[in-house]
Structure 1
Amino acid sequence: MLSLAHSTTPKNVALKDAPKVLIVDDELPVLLTLKRALRKQFHIEVAINAMQALDRLADKENFAVIISDMHMPAMDGIEFLKQAQNLSPNTSRIMLSGAHDLDLTLQALNECEVFRFLQKPCSADDIANAIRDGAKAFEQREAPDKAASNLLSKFHKELQIPLSQMVDFAKMIYNDQALKGTPKEFASQIIENGNAVLDTSETILDLVAMQSQKYEPSIENIDVQKLIRHASQPHKKLALAKGMKVNLATPSSPIDISSDERLLRRALSELISNAIKFSKTESEVEINVEISGEDDSHIMFEITDSGCGLDTESVMSNLKDSSYINRNAHSEEIGSGLGLPLALATAETLGGFFEIESLKGSGTKAKIFIPVKSTQDVGKIPL
Structure 2
Amino acid sequence: MPQCAKILVVDDDPAVLDALRRSLGRCYDLETALGPEQGLAALADNGPFAVIISDLRMPGLSGVEFLRRAKALAPEAVALMLTGHGDLDAAMEAINEGHIFRFLTKPCPPPILSRSLDAALTQYRLAAADRDLLRVTLENARLKDDVERIMRHDLKTPLTTIISLPQVLRLAENLDDDQRDMLSLIEDAGYTVLAMVNLSTALFKMERDQYVLDPVAVDLVPIVAKIFAAHADTAENHGLALELAVGGRPAAPGKPFLVRGEELLCYSMLANLLANAVEASPDGGRVAVDMRQAGDMASIAIANQGAVPPSVRDRFFEKYATAGKTKGTGLGTYSARRIALAHGGDIAMATSEAGGTVVTVSLPRAL
> Could you say which structure has the greater relative contact order, defined with CA pairs below 8 angstroms and 6 or more residues apart?
1
TM-score, normalised via structure 2 length: 0.49
Q: Say which one has the larger Rg.
A: 2
